[in-house]
Structure 1
Amino acid sequence: MREDSILTLHPLAVRDEGEETVVGRTDTGDFIALPPVGARALGLLAEGHTPAHTRRLLRAQTGQNLDITGLATDLLPLGFVATCDGHPVPGPAPLRPTWPRLRPATVAFTLHPALPVLLVALTVTAVVVAAGRPQLWPGYRQLIWSDHTGLVLLAQAAVAWILLGIHETAHLITARAAGVPGRITFGTRLQFLVAQTEVPGIWAAPRRHRQTVYAAGMATDLTLASAAVLTAATTTEGSVVHRAALIVTTTVAITLTIQAMAFMRTDIYFLIQDLTGCHTLYADATAHARHQAARAAAWLRRRPAPAPGLGPLAALPAREARIVRVYTVVLTAGTVLCLTAAAAVTIPFDLHLLTAATGHLFAPDASVAVHALDGGAVLAVLLIPQALWARAWWRRHGHHLTRRRSAPQP
């Protein structure tokens, strides 16, 4: 990069937020926040001005002598620069979207302001109907409809995965309506296997569209639950349709409970992040928690601790730093409680089911087909998600372990 270099930039989306401007590529999801003068410099570079000419223009306009060459150099690893002096610049590959043929015009209705009003009306109707009928409320008894554990678990897993697919599709469709590509993948949140819709380019969309995309999954869940309540209220108690509707209602209640765990970057977390204007809330809180843990460890070892003012929050505005401190408490407490519950309840329960299922499958009386099928169903429900969790975890974290293992030893 030289003072007289000519840059060709990839198409960049620009969103003005007053004190700063968000700029980035919607096809890769790489975004940065710049002061207005930085965004103006980026615009001049995109128009074909050299860093030296851009610096002179901005000095005449603002009186500031800016390091435009340094700014241009910083753009290289972000993937914003397509060519420098005619030479191609390597960068991240564009996101490969799910359902690439889905056009924004086809699903534009999902961003219509009237749609949330209709969904709220349906939800209120379901609440009114269920208010005087406790048998329609979510509860664990709604899930226990057979004496065969494997059959119950298999049906519950099927319903949960179908609802999860609909939930993620709602995110994908609303993002596509906003003109942003999205991709549905598997991921991990602590001990949970999750399906997730990656829409990093949503930073370029208007605030109402961003929040619609974040809330689309939960809104769809509430819509399905409301429809299920109304179905259960109008069908014969004990019928297949009635029981299926109650299973859907209870499964959605469980899903929404998990969504409330904002310390795991759920949909509610992204809404909080957007509403507070903290662009990297989870990363900042994680860094702050590690800094505080390092200070506590140093104090216990009676060694000099890092100064409080030198932590990762020092560069943040005062308002944003306060929000990060509060979220750090939520993140730390939620993570500890979640992992404790997993160790004390979830893992022992799964091991008990696994042992019982294996016994049913391989016991001497396993010739009884019902017992064998029941044990096999339990094993499938328990082991397949764990295998998917391990694969998703390795794809995200495996390179760190590989790098450490291959590092030369002193």
Structure 2
Amino acid sequence: MKVSLQSEITLYPLSIRKDKKNYIVEEPISGDFFELPEIGVDAIQRLEKGENLAAIEKALKEHYPEEEVDIIEFVEQLVELGLVQHVDGVQVHREKEKQAKSESGFLWIPQWMGRIFFNSLMNKVYLLLLVSNIFILILNPEFFPHYKDIFLFDSMVLNVLTYLLISLVLIVIHEFGHILAIRSQDLPAKLSIGNRLIFIVFETDLTQAWKLDPKKRNILYLAGMSIEQIILFLSFGFMLLFPNASFVGIVSIIVLDIFIKSIYQCCFYMKTDVYYVVENVTGCYNLMESGKVYLRSFLKKHRKSAKDHKEMFQDEWNLVRIYSVFYIIGVFLTLLLTFVYFIPQLYYMITTVYLNIMGAGDRAAFWDAIAFLVQTMLMLILLVYLARKKRREN
């Protein structure tokens, strides 16, 4: 659909509010949110008043002399984003009509239930628990998780199933923390399944959090880790009070799983909960994308100068450089976890299974090794399926 300076533009109803640096624009019908600078919001408000495009372009050039203004290109971008309802009285076809997210999303959970776990007092409690857990670990180094903590039984199949079950339960609890937090704000949430690296994960869609101010959004992003601090504190308590109890092995797996996932949250080359908090605090909502561009530029034959980089990232120059450092640190953290936990665990499992297949154990050990191989193949197939599904969606 062609747009000209004489075109009459009708937008869908939009909600606009100021954020840290720019403005957040919500299109309520689809539930989509967009970040726009002041000049873009000014143009939208003038369109909503019914001003013609030629007058809008002239006014913007006068008010923003340092900006390049092309109102036709801007309107075409609005069309692509699905924000334009009519052009010259003709309905604009959107490729995919979405149902409003507010129609579903754990609305059966009452707001008061979410407020029990997420309020000003509990937020301080979670911080206190985090500090307490760090001190407990420092004072009791024997609680520091070991890669062999997952091997409770002689049966490798039972070991893997036990770990996967505990990990799955903890993932669900983590995501339910996000759901309770967003319901405490009387907003809907959506739960989906995906994968990060080799891990199968549940993911809570917190898109509706953009309705809130940045401080409240941080509570939603940290909600899962906050609930984990309760579990970790209770686990350490059981290990202190009942050091020789039979269930301490299960508790050790819980500590190991939460510990690894907490380190993983600091791997900023992925969009983790902590990454979103950093993005939210800085007001720079494309840190990862900018960081990748910055780091990639050093691999080219003709490296950009510092001046070129500053012009590229403008006022986000220092943030992008700092983020790039943490991006690299995140990669090293992943390698550290791999060499300290994952590779030793894998080596132990492969060695044990190989010896059992070769007859080092009894008949039960042999069939346990065969079942472990089948189990591993099924997990790999599931991971490949999820990866391909995610690629198709993208």
Bucket of the pairwise TM-score, normalised by the shorter protein: 0.7 to 0.9
Check whether the contact 2:12–2:85 (CA below 8 A) recurs between aligned residues.
Answer: yes
Check whether the contact 2:178–2:221 (CA below 8 A) recurs between aligned residues.
Answer: yes
- Per the alignment, residue 387 of structure 1 pairs with 381
Residues 80 and 173 (structure 1), Cα distance of their counterparts in 2 relative to 1, 3 Å cut: farther
What one-letter code is carried by the residue in structure 2 that aligns with 1:88? V
Structure 1 stretch displaced more, 364-373 or 383-392? 364-373
Determine if the alignment matches structure 1 residue 41 to structure 2 residue 43: yes
Give the secondary structure class of the aligned counterpart of 1:316. helix
Check whether the contact 1:259–1:267 (CA below 8 A) recurs between aligned residues.
Answer: yes
Shift of 1:357: 3.5
Shift of 1:70: 3.1
Give the secondary structure class of the aligned counterpart of 1:238. coil
| Aligned residue pair count | 385
Structure 1: 5+ residue stretches without partners: 299-304, 401-410
- Per the alignment, residue 302 of structure 1 pairs with none
CA distance in 2 between counterparts of 1:231 and 1:345 reads: 24
Check whether the contact 2:178–2:204 (CA below 8 A) recurs between aligned residues.
Answer: yes
Q: 1:286 aligns with which of 285, 292, 296?
A: 292
Check whether the contact 1:123–1:222 (CA below 8 A) recurs between aligned residues.
Answer: yes
What one-letter code is carried by the residue in structure 1 that aligns with 2:390? R
Q: 1:23 aligns with which of 17, 22, 25?
A: 25
CA distance in 2 between counterparts of 1:355 and 1:48 reads: 73
Give the secondary structure class of the aligned counterpart of 1:15. strand
CA distance in 2 between counterparts of 1:311 and 1:24 reads: 34
- Per the alignment, residue 314 of structure 1 pairs with 311
Shift of 1:355: 7.2
- Per the alignment, residue 71 of structure 1 pairs with 74
- Per the alignment, residue 283 of structure 2 pairs with 277
Superimposed CA distance per residue, residues 324-346 of structure 1 (whole angstroms, 9 cap, x where no aligned partner): 12322432464377469859985
Residues 52 and 219 (structure 1), Cα distance of their counterparts in 2 relative to 1, 3 Å cut: same
The equivalences for 1:140-289 within 5 A come to: 140=147, 142-178=149-185, 180-235=187-242, 237-240=244-247, 242-289=248-295
Give the secondary structure class of the aligned counterpart of 2:222. helix
Report the TM-score, using the length of structure 1 for normalisation: 0.76
Q: 1:89 aligns with which of 66, 88, 93?
A: 93
Superimposed CA distance per residue, residues 11-70 of structure 1 (whole angstroms, 9 cap, x where no aligned partner): 4342313652232447454412212x431321232355443464577689x487954333
Structure 1 stretch displaced more, 84-93 or 101-110? 101-110
CA distance in 1 between counterparts of 2:264 and 2:85 reads: 42
Give the secondary structure class of the aligned counterpart of 1:293. coil
Structure 2: 5+ residue stretches without partners: none
Across the aligned residues of Structure 1 and Structure 2, the Cα RMSD in angstroms comes to: 4.0
- Per the alignment, residue 371 of structure 2 pairs with 376
Identity, in percent, stands at 19
Shift of 1:283: 0.6
Residues 396 and 141 (structure 1), Cα distance of their counterparts in 2 relative to 1, 3 Å cut: closer
Residues 107 and 329 (structure 1), Cα distance of their counterparts in 2 relative to 1, 3 Å cut: same
